[in-house]
Amino acid sequence: MNKLEVNLKGFCSDIETLNKEVRSSLGPADYKHLLRTERYGRIAALLGYSTAWIFPNPLTAFLISLSQFTRWLMAHHILHRGYDNVPGVPHRYTSKGFAVGKRRFLDWFDWMLPRAWDYEHNILHHYHTGEDADPDLAERHTEFLRAWRIPKFLKYIFVGVAACTWKFTYYAPSTMSVLEPESKKRIKQPHIIFITIKNIFQFRNKHVRMLWLQGYLPYGLFHFAVIPALFFPLGQTAVLYVFLNKVLAEIFTNIHSFLVIGPNHTADDLYRFSFHYDDKAQFYLTQVLGSANYNCGDEVRDYLSIYLNYQIEHHLFPDLPMLKYREIQPQVKQICEKWGVPYQQESIFKRFKRMVDVCVGNTAMKEMSSIQEVVAMPVDKLSAIPPAASQPVVHAH
């Protein structure tokens, strides 16, 4: 195996400097951007539901889907504490207020509990990225599919079905597994027994009961029974059409989220790690080596990608406002290139193909068994590196 030549000390120093600069620049523009993003989702909801009763159609379903997807976008960045330190942000847009208690039904009412997702994603995934302890390691989850001796086209069909259903067949069971059902306390990682699609009907399991009583049933009844029933004054046909648009919207939301979330950490040019980092420099390095960006830089593309097209920047600094990722992305890329750290970035569709190739067994992820596989950049290469230039964070207004 070829060892990586990286100047880890220089890389860490520059990332730390950038970290301090960007945090000192938090301000009103970040809050305004959050509100503007939320407004996109509300407009989509208004347009979607105002036409949902007319007839089933993909445009209406996509708008409804986009409104629901925007709530996930909001939850992702707010629960990551991205707006906790932004001056002037109301309590309801901080991690301590958003989707907490009854506000779950206003802020982010989805198949899973926000508190469970917060622990599963923000802690277990983000601080064990690419490790065996990472609950979202797709290559591990698809080992059975990779080894399955069936025609390849059936494997592709399996991935397609998973894409259409993954929020409730994978994500909801996975997240609901990490909390104690009664106390809602976090279960320590070695003691978590994850629910899967194989045992979601084992109602003797208290986690399965929590999944149904606090996840599946509330979400399913509200979105597929209560909302269509609200259109009853327009006639029974209107109720049916709203129901069909809601079902189609749910499929769209699953596909959309699968497309932007799945490929972030799964590809033949990304790493799995059989060790845990020892310090901040190693943490920064593993986050970059285990993550990939999509094309980025404009409002529409970033919004539709829920700012996960800045996955490298997000994993380096999980608790920044989403607008900051756009601002610092060129600098992070330059720092990585400067110190020899591979920085992977392609179109979302190329990254999606790479992920699917891993899932069906066409390719495999790289593996790193020890930080010793990363060696100091040779002196001749180091001497060719130009002195670091002062590049303050560019603020978007």
Looking at residue 197, its pLDDT comes to 87
365: left (phi over 0), alpha (psi -120 to 50) or beta: beta
**Helix, coil or strand: residue 30:** helix
Split at pLDDT 50, 70, 90, the class of 1 is low
Task: Indicate the pLDDT class of residue 384, thresholds 50, 70 and 90.
Answer: low
Chain position carrying tokens 């997702």 = 117
Q: Are 312 and 291 in contact (CB under 8 A)?
A: yes
**pLDDT tens readout for residues 161-200:** 999 999 999 999 999 999 999 999 999 988 999 998 889 9
Residue type, 303: Y
At 257-297, the pLDDT tens digits run 999 999 999 999 999 999 999 999 999 999 999 999 999 99
pLDDT > 90? residue 380: no
What is the Cα–Cα distance from 1 to 201, expressed in whole angstroms?
45
DSSP lists the bridge partners of residue 293 as 345
What pLDDT shows up at residue 396?
45
pLDDT of residue 164: 97
**What Å distances lie between residue 277 and 1, 82, 374, CA to CA?**
20, 24, 12
Chain segment 326-373, per-residue pLDDT in tens? 999 999 999 999 999 999 999 999 999 999 999 999 999 999 999 999
pLDDT value at position 390?
A: 43
Residue 69: the pLDDT is 96
The three-point CA angle 97-128-393 to 5° equals 65
User: Which residues face 116 on adjacent strands?
Assistant: none
Please report which residue ranges of 4-142 form alpha helices under DSSP H. Answer: 8-23, 28-51, 58-79, 104-107, 114-117, 138-141
CA dist., res. 235 & res. 10, Å (int) = 67
**Residue 112 and residue 173: Cα distance in Å, rounded?**
8
Q: Say how far apart CA 172 and CA 337 lie, in whole Å.
A: 38
Average the pLDDT over 224-234 and give the result: 98
| pLDDT band, very low/low/confident/very high, at 249 (cuts 50, 70, 90) | very high
User: In whole numbers, what is the pLDDT of the chain averaged over residues?
Assistant: 94
Q: Report the pLDDT value the prediction gives residue 389, as an integer from 0 to 100.
A: 46
Contact partners, residue 297, CB within 8 Å, separation at least 6? 326, 329
Residue 139 pLDDT greater than 70, yes or no: yes
